[in-house]
Chains A and B, each alone.
Chain A
């Protein structure tokens, strides 16, 4: 346990101070935000004299807010499906093969992850108009999918590189052609990576503002709706919406963490 040498005297105390400062920095704003959603007044700020659940009732009674949640989730699911299929495909093409231009192909695949959101959003907007794609769900899904492909490629390639060659050879030896051995051996091996990448894509898409804002039509996604509401002033209603979104994403994150841990234990 204690076999790591101390960097300097008081190192441990110093490190734990930094750690707790970090925890406060992350959680205090979130806790404040959550608390304000229960305040029985239109103005954000202390002191909170009386508490209410009205803001939450408002969120669940407001069909606009609810449909925005649904819209964001639909976009996240669709774009994730596309990224996972395309990304896995590219990973399988690139991993473990040597061919001319492989590194160029790999570089171009990863590039979308590095282009600043605002720039790719504007580029998408112009390109979409040029192609005659209307702003709206299709355009957002397309932009999210393209943006998320690199993450899928990286995660799936990493997993694929650990698949022993003998696994595929054994499948072939037992009568499986290349396609059957891919479906029955390679794909099951990739499931944990694909699931992990999917969760990441879902959260990235659900959270995205810039692309959704530039490529959206009249219907707002959740981040765009929150932004629009902010422009007409802070209100505990926004805190309530944000808290619901926070609980939703945290739940997915925790479930994914436990699930992948179980998968890792099994294999």
Chain B
């Protein structure tokens, strides 16, 4: 997949709104068939990127190459790109079938061909029964599927999705996430998904680009982002994590050795190695910490005392005070039985060096 030419090539893209820099020199390739998610808080530049790809904004500088063609200055109607809008933007005066057929008509397809494609896409999204309904007569989830059907019908090279699950309630959202992912797999379409919801991004994406202040913080698979966050921003934005602030002691192979609360710990090295004695931060996920009665054989181990437990059903959230004054707190998830068996005696907390990432700060 990576050896062929990319479907989308974004080159040095910037967008300024007056004095505000919404997007700052973004360069990125998107491969055919990828599910790419742009993730970040509001104002991070993810929506601006999406709107530039859709043709609704012109970049201040930079180019967008789609399928080998420079589309930077093409209006939306000329692009082989379709979008699922945040509010779905279904046309209220048209039925479901008319909405979905809209893009097909404008492509200049014949009546018979439109009918065929319409039947195909409506049954693909299980909307057969709703062709004659108006958008007001549909539920939120159904509307969302109609918006998807309408955007997929003209067979776009790239599908843009602008937080399309935001308007759904939590229960439905999980179900729709699975659906979206399976639709993407079955159609082999390239999805460009924008969201501020990290869970959504983790469940669906092949690749996540975390954005912050108009720049890319990290670009990788969900697993890479989760277990090897490159920066404090990514570590905190995605999932829950323990951030350990300590001092750089040196390196050992590909690992960094650090001093934290009087313990010597090892973690994976960041891209830019800090100098010895420099303050550094490392991230270790809550579920990677293990509880032991004796000092464990894991790469890292500290002694502490459990100061808080929260029962969460399938698991238990633990708070452990560590360090000389007991002023550093670690949080951990353990299964409920282990959690209950831990008493007030000092315990050993252990984790592997591979599960801790030292951050670029």
Contacts and interface: CB of A to CB of B under 8 A. Distances in A.
Interface of A: 164, 166-167, 169-177, 180, 184-185, 188-189, 266-267
Given A166-B87, A185-B91, A174 B136 contact: no
Contact of B136 (A172, A177, A188, A267): A267
Q: Is the interface of A mostly helix, strand, loop or mixed?
A: helix
B307 interface: no
Interface in B25-59: 54-56
Given A175-B106, A177-B77, A180-B106, A170 B89 contact: yes
B56 A175 contact: no
B154 A172 contact: no
Given A169-B54, A174-B154, 19 more contacts: A164-B87, A166-B85, A166-B86, A166-B87, A167-B91, A169-B56, A169-B85, A170-B89, A170-B91, A170-B150, A171-B102, A173-B76, A174-B77, A174-B102, A174-B150, A174-B151, A189-B93, A266-B136, A267-B93
Interface string B63-99: 0000000000001110001110111011111000000
The 10 closest A-B pairs by CB, nearest first: A175-B106, A174-B103, A166-B89, A170-B89, A172-B76, A188-B93, A166-B85, A175-B77, A173-B76, A173-B83
A199 B343 CA distance: 81
B107 A175 contact: yes
B82 to A, nearest CB: 6
Interface centre among A167, A169, A172, A175 (most CB of B within 10 A): A175
B291 interface: no
A170 B85 contact: yes
A173 B54 contact: yes
B134 interface: yes
A267 B92 contact: yes
B53 to A, nearest CB: 11
Contact of B89 (A164, A176, A266): A164
Contacts of B85: 166, 169-170
Interface residues of B, number: 26
Contacts of A166: 85-87, 89
A266 B151 CA distance: 24
A267 B135 CA distance: 9
Given A169-B76, A267-B136, A175 B89 contact: no
A267 B93 CA distance: 7
Contact of A172 (B77, B90, B91, B93): B77
Interface centre among B75, B77, B85, B107 (most CB of A within 10 A): B77
Contact of A176 (B87, B90, B106, B151): B106
26 contacts: A166-B85, A166-B87, A166-B89, A167-B89, A169-B54, A169-B56, A169-B85, A169-B89, A170-B89, A170-B90, A170-B91, A170-B150, A172-B55, A172-B76, A172-B77, A173-B54, A173-B76, A173-B77, A173-B83, A173-B151, A174-B82, A176-B106, A184-B102, A189-B92, A267-B93, A267-B136
Nearest to B75: A172
A164 B87 CA distance: 9
A74 to B, nearest CB: 31
A180 B102 CA distance: 11
A263 to B, nearest CB: 10
Contacts of B81: 173
Contacts of A175: 77, 103, 106-107, 154
B190 to A, nearest CB: 16
Nearest to A169: B56
Contacts of B90: 170
A111 B234 CA distance: 58
Contacts of B93: 188-189, 267
A266 B133 CA distance: 12
Given A267-B92, A267-B136, A173 B102 contact: no
Nearest to B76: A172
Nearest to B78: A175
B157 to A, nearest CB: 13
A266 B90 CA distance: 14
